[in-house]
Structures are given as C-alpha cells and as structure tokens.
A and B are shown apart, each in its own frame.
Chain A
C-alpha cells in the first residue's frame, strides 16, 4: 500500500511530460469507447496532438467480466507530433479484473493504474482467472495503483436521479472520465455538451451522467490521494492553425471517395459484402445517399465486385471493398475489368490472415496479392494509405487514376488505420484540382478500342449513347477494332499495351519524397501503409541521437514512382519494416536488385516505436 499524503500535497503535485499514453479498459458494457471518444474531444480542444486506437473484442456479446469481453480505447497525446497510438501504457484505467489482467503487460513500470475496487469481487476475479486479488498480493508493487470504489461513488453521486441500481451503475464511465480529466487538467465542458446532445430526449440520464462526471472530477480535487498520484501537465502541441476535426481511416476513405466522385464529376456505385474490418466503410457511405453514391449490399464478394464492374461499364464509377479473403474471391472479376479496360476501385482493409485469421487485428500481408495475385498478366496500380487522414487523399487519388487510365486500382488500408483516429485539419476542397471524366459521344471514327495516345486509356462510351453501340468482354480483343481476336501477335500487343498503360502511370504521380531525413545517407527505413507512424517516430528519435537515417514511405506501390530506384540507391542500406513476412522487401529486391533488409512483425499488433529504433540501431551497428 502507498503511503498517505495530505490532500494539499496531492492536489498541487504536478508532473510535466511531453507525451503520454492512456488506456481505458473495461467490460464491453462499461462504455469505454464513449469514455475514450469524449476524452479525445477534450484533449483535442486543449490543444494536444493525438492519436487513438479502439480495441474491440472479437465476440459481439461476450459474457460480462470475461477476458475476451474486454473493450479498450487507447489515446496517445502530447506536445510534439504524435503519429502512433503509443508503445506502452502510462495510465491504465481498469474497470474490472479482466481489464487489468489483459492490459497489465503493456503498462510501463511505475505507470499509474486506476482500478474500480467495487468490481474486484470474487466472481469477477474468478472470471479473470485470479486466485488472489492482485490488489492484495503485491503483484502490482511495480506500479502506482489508485484504488477507488467507483461503484459506490457513482451510486451516491447519481442518487437524486432515481435511476435504480443498474442504470446508476451505467454512469461509472463518466465518473471515471471526470477523474481522468482532472488528472490531466482538461476542461470537461465539451463532454458535458456531448452528453446533453446524446441524451437530449432523456434529461434524467443526461443529468445523472453529468453529475457522475462532476463527481469524478471533484473527487480528484478533494480526495486524499496517495503520494505519487499527481496531476500531469502535457503542454500544447504546435499545430498548423486551422479548423480541425477527428478522423479515422474509414471515414477518411468514405469522404475521400465522395470527394473523388465530385472531382471526377461522376456517380459512384459502392458495392460490398459484410466482412470485418471493412464493413464500416459500407455503413458510412450507405448513410450518405444525399451524395451521388449508391450503395449495394451484394449477395457475396463476387457479386459485389461484379456489380461495380457493371456500373463502370454503364458510366458510373464502380467501387468495391473487402478484406483479404473477400479480395481473393473478387480477383476474377478484377481481371475482367483489366481486360475490358474499365475503371474500378478496390479497397482492401487488410486483417490478419490467412483464411479467417485474425479478423479484428491488423496486418499488411495482402501486398503481394494486390500486386500479383491474379491470373494472367494482369497489371494494375496499387496505392496504400499511411494514416487515417491520408485515407482521404489516397481515395481521391484512386478515383483519379482509375478514371483517367480506365483501370482497376487497388487501395490498401488495414484494420489499424480503419479504426485509429487522429486530428485532421479540414482541407479546403478548392485546393484540389478537378479531374472530370470525358465520355465519348463522337460517332465519327468511333471504335471501342480507341485509346488516348498519351495515357493509353481506352475510350469510355457508356450505354445509352447514340450510335456508339459496342460490345466488350473478357475474350482477347483486337487492338485495332475491339472485336474478338485470337491472333497471336495481337495478344502480344494487347498484353504489352496493358502493361505499358499501367507502367506509364509512374509519369503521372509525384516523385517519391523522403518523409524525414536526408535524400542520401547510411540507412533508409522504407515503409508503406500504416507503419508510417511508428517508423516516423522511430527514425525521428534516432536522428535526434545523431544517427544518419532517413524515412521513406511509399504510397504508390505499383507502379513505383519513377525516381524511387535512384533514391534508394543513394543509401548504403535499406531496411523495410512490414507487418508481414517480407512482401515489399521482396518486390524492391526483385525490381531494383538492391540488398534491402526485412523487419517483420505478424502479431496482429502495430509496430512499437522502440522496435523500429532497435532495428535501426542494429542495422547501424552492423554497418
């Protein structure tokens, strides 16, 4: 047990840190996601940079108190730029024994753990497989533990609202939030407003939740807290002035697609089949039908991509979305779109594989599938989003390339980016150059095989256009007429043309930039996708220690930017961290004949910053 100190000491002790990781963990029914979301709002308002990640249980309705029913929300915030949701937990809020046991391993030694002793009863301890309460056997001695009977505090605080025992207890999360807001010196006004809005039709519930919030806050101010529990000061971050909001990857993709559709001046058909973790994209767009998007929940993955291909044939832009196993099912139809030269956007929110694998966990193991995983010689462009906010721009870029080059585009996201969120400076759409599609209407000289001499894109003549009736299909077509052709030379020419068209996209994308560091040097850490945050921080800290290391992050994975090879050749060594067994590294080695070195992790968890730092140091030491 900690030594007691006077309230005055506790109230005035302050501890300034650059950044901090807080994780709220509890039962699925404890409202941890709501708690986290509100804490995020208050933290953003305060002016910290931040990044968040929700960790939901895989089971929909896991039994209360069970370890597999723990729902958690992690936020990493600070005064510097924050690009990951954090390596290790500095402050853990554990609403029951299961939440403690499943998260304790990630708490830093000396970290603060807030527990609700009211939930540490025999039944819950048993469910978490504790023989003895960890609060009593000294197993938490390495941490600072704040034990509060939150349940009784809440019951007392909301008593005037007569909600009954069960409903009163549901305000537990707001009481806890109040305490944590106090701990970090945050204003609780945004949460109060959120609660008023959320429970507008139930003033009693709103009142009780606000009372609980206030009580938790007041508890921090006035209670006799043990020594070592001090108010944290996390100074404001320097952020570019502007209007900000929170954005997660799913929303970023959905809004990016809508924006892309407007910039291309084309209607969208989004066809999809439910699959974790990609379904939320379907939900987000289905709720936005005031825009020019039609959503279609198909009978299976194949039907979804086929409907999208049909829509593109008819003059909309077809979009389909899934995770790895679903993308595998779609491949034949994607190849049809390559053959028929129709635009299509295919979004893969990657998850742990193979097969059902780890549906709720993240991985980057579908890169080879995206680049090579089709029958025949079937090249198509592949893009990857690196952060939740980046999803918006990458989605626009996918729409641009698909419509400009009459080709399917594969867009890779993953389970981490889809759910993680970060502050986003709301862009001014006037800053985006439109790229309107042109449908052919000219009958003179029309052939479905006509191409743009510059992009090699086939002409797009949509059904309904007078005089342009034509047939397309999956059988090889004559280069000059578009009619069926089994001619050997023609197949060679068509295969070469399809490849040249996609290769040519490298002239129409930005040159590869260095995300951090110099354009030449000892070591380049080359990443793609959601590893951006961890690599960025890792490289940054190594550079602060004086190491000659740079970070290069590739958005255009196929074709690569034209200067990538030359850029990589300017470094003595190339290290490629990936959440797979080495896929980008394989492509880089085979394309550029460079001795790139892999750094792999396939645990379903994102890279930690320190894992990148360790790998960089090991590489530098070995050079």
Chain B
C-alpha cells in the first residue's frame, strides 16, 4: 500500500515467505538486521532491489518485501550491473556467499568492484559450501575437513577483503552476523556510499562449519581477537584496550604491541580509512598472530561507472541531439533509383 517513507516499519520489509535456513544459521541474524535497518535508510520499498546468486545466503531476496532476483551461481554482480545500468535510480544490493562471489563468480565480483558500479555487495562468509552439503570453499582454512577433502584441505584460502581492495573497491568493510549494532552501522555506510561497496560478513554455519568465528564472536574472548577499527582512532584492542598495532617500518609489516611494554600510545597506528596500503595490511591481519579487524577498512569515493556513463551520454546528446532513425538510415552514401 502507498505509505510515506518515514512510516515504514520492519514489517513492511518482511515478505510472506517462510524462512528456510537451518535453525541457528547466522543468516537469520543478518536478515533481521537488514529488515530492521531498511526503514531507517529512508528509501521506498519499490526502489530497493536485492539480487543474489546461488547458495544458502542467496535465498535472502525471497524474504525481503522489496524487488528481488534470485539468479544463477556466481553471476549476481553482473545481473545487478544490468539492473543498475537500466535504472540508475534503483538501490541495488547484491547478496552473495564465499563460494558464489569468490569461486564461481570471482571474475564478476572483481569487475563490479573495479568498474565501480554503484552496488552494495554483502558477502556472507561462512568458509564453506552449505547448500551443497559442506564442501570446503575458497575461504576455508587450510586443513578443513569436508566431504571433498576428507584428509583436510591443502590449498590456501583467500581473504575476501584483500581481494576487494586488490580489485579497486572504493568501500571495503567487515562485520559479524550477530553484532546487530556494528553490522547496521557498517551497512548504513556501505549503502550511503556512491559506488561499489563491499561488506564481508563473518557468518556462522552451525551445520557444516560451526564455531569458526567463535574467537571474534564470543563475548568472553572476543576483545583479544577482534579489533574494531574507526577512522582517526588508534588501532587498539584487548579487554583493557592496552594492546595495539604498530607499523614496523624496517620490515614494512604490522606487529602487535602492548602499551607500557616497550610501546606507548603514540606508537600505535591510527586508522586512516582513506589509506589503501594501510587498509591492505589491516585486512590481511588474522589469528593467531593478529586480531581480526572489523569495521570500515577502506573508504575513498571515486567517480562511479553508471553516473559517468550517463554524463557521457548527456554530453553526446547535447552535441548530436536525440537519435533520429530516419536520419540515421540516410547517413553516408545514398542514391536515388528512378
């Protein structure tokens, strides 16, 4: 029904479809967060389009009472690019997973980011193939035992955020499925950003890869394993916020220091979300040597593809006028037969 944008509620964004993820799946929390967030974004329902590929996470669009397109494995960024090209007024979201976006669809993810298409790409990373029953994925840690790797995987995983940064994404962030406040804040920024935004969401799959993110999720231990980055703030973590990240200039590498033990606050690196080199270092931090960074790792707007294309067209139209088919057919050499 016709409803003012400021009156919309979570119910308006909840479809009538029964949610079919496994009990306890991290996807539930993400869905709830986004449904709850939508009214706060101040956009109409009809202007929101959720495009997904294939996988557990890709069922997402069915549960949103907006426009949605559940497509084919790995291709959501390309289909979303087509949607955006056809109608730049729409807010286009891509919901994808680690296998979808980084294995079968790696090329499309890379190019949507490189091209800087104005899409909000949310990658639910559970480090496993859920829908096909638990095979290891391109983000699975070495040694992951799965039906296709009974002795444990031997190939090394890739880091979604490092890939996104390498592909030239102007907005790269990481968050956690069950951290509603953090996730909401990150997605709000990602959505506001004009151009491609990429958010990796650490998502628990209790069925096939349970507990892999416990270190960053368990309230008791998380402070020691999770670093919440904030632009302009020092990179501190630990229960007492007494540990920090320092740049070792000689090695051109990061290291963990403890304040008062040979290091002081001034030694700790201050997060600059516009610094690509720093973002790459922070994105690559992983346990056991480092805490996992969450938050907006990189944000530096550059001109966006679809807008630039529209500009080109407008300029061309000013010069040539709107296309006239009758004239076009008569361009070049013509002759009259009597």
Residues of A within 8 A of B (CB): 41, 44-45, 47, 190, 194, 239-246, 255, 258-259, 262, 267, 269, 271, 288-292, 294, 296, 298-300, 302-304, 306-316, 318, 332-333, 336, 340, 425-427, 429, 462-475, 483-484
Contact = CB atoms under 8 A, between A and B. Distances in A.
B47 to A, nearest CB: 6
A313 B309 contact: no
A265 to B, nearest CB: 13
B337 A47 contact: yes
A463 B47 CA distance: 7
Contacts of A465: 46
Nearest to B17: A483
Closest 10 CB pairs of A and B: A310-B82, A473-B70, A291-B323, A307-B82, A306-B78, A310-B79, A314-B86, A471-B68, A316-B86, A463-B67
A474 B71 contact: yes
B276 interface: no
A432 to B, nearest CB: 10
Contacts of A314: 49, 82-84, 86-87, 90
A388 to B, nearest CB: 14
A47 B338 CA distance: 10
Interface string B40-68: 00001111010100000000011011111
A244 B334 contact: yes
B287 interface: no
A403 to B, nearest CB: 14
Given A241-B337, A296-B85, A310-B86, 11 more contacts: A41-B333, A269-B86, A291-B323, A299-B78, A302-B78, A310-B83, A466-B2, A469-B65, A471-B61, A472-B69, A473-B61
Contact of B82 (A44, A242, A244, A306): A306
B303 interface: no
A241 B69 CA distance: 52
Interface stretch (B174-182, B278-286, B311-319): B311-319
Nearest to A472: B69
Interface of B: 1-2, 15, 17, 44-47, 49, 51, 61-62, 64-72, 75, 77-87, 89-90, 107-108, 110-111, 309, 312-313, 316-317, 320-323, 325-326, 328-330, 332-338
B310 to A, nearest CB: 9
30 contacts: A47-B337, A240-B337, A242-B336, A243-B330, A244-B334, A245-B332, A245-B333, A246-B332, A267-B86, A269-B86, A289-B312, A290-B322, A291-B325, A299-B111, A303-B75, A306-B75, A306-B79, A306-B82, A307-B85, A310-B85, A312-B82, A314-B86, A314-B90, A340-B69, A463-B46, A467-B46, A471-B64, A471-B69, A474-B70, A474-B72
Contacts of A471: 15, 17, 61-62, 64, 67-70
B87 A336 contact: no
Contact of A294 (B68, B309, B325): B309
B280 to A, nearest CB: 23
Given A302-B75, A471-B70, A262 B325 contact: yes
Contacts of A240: 337
B107 A300 contact: yes
Given A310-B80, A310-B86, A44 B68 contact: no
Nearest to B111: A299
A616 to B, nearest CB: 32
A267 B322 CA distance: 13
A532 B159 CA distance: 56
Contacts of B337: 47, 239-244, 425
Contacts of A332: 72
A308 B47 contact: no
A469 B67 contact: yes
B68 to A, nearest CB: 4
A466 B333 contact: no
Nearest to A300: B107
A306 B71 contact: yes
A456 to B, nearest CB: 22
A512 to B, nearest CB: 28
A313 B328 contact: no
Contacts of B322: 290-291
A299 B85 contact: no
Contact of B334 (A47, A243, A289, A312): A243
Contact of B87 (A190, A244, A333, A463): A463
B61 A309 contact: no
Nearest to B81: A307
B335 A44 contact: yes
A464 B87 contact: yes
B308 to A, nearest CB: 12
A242 B334 CA distance: 10
| Centre residue among A240, A271, A313 by max chain B CB count within 10 A | A313
B78 A303 contact: yes
Given A336-B72, A464-B47, A426 B330 contact: yes
A463 B50 CA distance: 10
Residue from A41, A294, A318 with most neighbouring chain B CB atoms (10 Å): A294
A464 B330 CA distance: 38
B336 to A, nearest CB: 6
A245 B329 CA distance: 8
A473 B54 CA distance: 10
Contacts of B46: 463-469
B135 to A, nearest CB: 20
Contact of A290 (B15, B316, B329): B316
B86 A303 contact: no
B332 A318 contact: no
